Chain A
């Protein structure tokens, strides 16, 4: 018997913090209450904005009401993401039920979301490998703008779902989709599209604005809010490195941002230990903080850094967001790159 690892695992190359095993296992524990609380806050905000839409009909206030409702609605991203990991709730059926509902709102079928995102965690921000890495360094200003506004995301997402509904899976998707899952992805895409069609049919046949005012229009009009958060996760960070502290960005958010975003502002921590559920990420941060770089102090600071790096990349394409690391790197291909 030996203590040395006999095989290289997908985690072997990645930097890992020092943390007591018992502490980490304790952080991995699942619970229902935090997710239900976060969902309840989301629901209350959504209901409040929904009442505002109802009261504002026929007035100019309808526009801001729909936008506010939409920016809350867009945060369906967060429960969908956490449920795709299977860490949102201790109860499996609750996890799967919330996954389906939130993924329907978010606009991505659950099984494809799950496998593509698993691939993203295995190969985080490795260009032409990571299934969810949509752009490479140097980043263009218009890429940042398009990503923050979020509207550009809908077209490729709609194309993807339509293609899957037609039964077409691309070779590059087969890299992360096991053969047996392909028919499930196709079936789910058809189910989701049928759901959207039912809502549209309700609007047309029922001669009602309800599905448009409470789903389709706000989903577009308020998309920018959640995308403003998502864009910060990896943009303008180092790429092709095996250290989440360098390729991923954490930031400090206020209470509302943390609740709507399900603590994904602790994004470095989430990538290091995806088995730690969202509600334990602040505690994980406290346990390994001395080994992490400082997070961006706010959402605005994160975007200011992104824009600063993008502008710097015009002169030096290798410029990336700099991170001061408390201990030596395991892998450091980014060290040759200029830092801003």
Chain B
């Protein structure tokens, strides 16, 4: 099921935008012109990733500096241990959509 997440124009270049949809926190990214979406809460210690730092295709948690690879969600640096959930994305007109399970 594809659902709209946010307008692509609201996502800063090479950075992250936090989107809260139906009580769930997501992060939307535009990195090198490509769009990505992940969960918005760090898997290590419940911090909002959008308050963190995007370096190339890595998002770093603001709390303990745990790192995740944005396109795949794999852990890129401790103390994070669990991967970050990622979502398939597509662009529909002005909107970035993500695919959620039916």
Contact = CB atoms under 8 A, between A and B. Distances in A.
A286 interface: no
Contact of A273 (B55, B60, B62): B62
Nearest to A121: B64
Contacts of A69: none
Contact of B79 (A10, A29, A118, A275): A118
Interface residues of B, number: 29
Contacts of B51: 11
Contacts of B81: 178, 180-181
Contacts of B63: 9-11, 118, 121-122, 274
B65 A86 contact: yes
Given A114-B78, A178-B81, A181-B81, A11 B62 contact: yes
Most chain A beta carbons < 10 A, residue from B25, B63, B81? B63
A7 B18 CA distance: 13
Contacts of B60: 28, 86, 275
Contact of A7 (B25, B64, B77): B25
A6 B18 CA distance: 12
A60 interface: no
B59 to A, nearest CB: 11
Contacts of B23: 6
Interface residues of A, number: 32
Given A30-B55, A86-B65, A4 B78 contact: no
Contact of A122 (B15, B21, B64, B67): B64
Contacts of A87: 65
B20 A10 contact: no
Interface in B59-85: 60-65, 67, 77-79, 81
B37 interface: no
B46 A9 contact: yes
Given A28-B53, A86-B77, A9 B48 contact: yes
Most interface-central of A9, A25, A273 (chain B CB within 10 A): A9
B45 interface: yes
A298 B97 CA distance: 54
Interface in A1-50: 1-11, 25, 28-30
A181 B61 CA distance: 19
A6 B45 contact: no
B47 interface: yes
B46 A111 contact: no
B27 interface: no
A5 to B, nearest CB: 7
B65 A274 contact: yes
Contacts of A10: 45-47, 63
Given A6-B24, A9-B41, A275 B53 contact: yes
Contacts of A11: 47-48, 51, 62-63
Interface of B: 6, 15, 19-21, 23-25, 41, 44-48, 51-53, 55, 60-65, 67, 77-79, 81
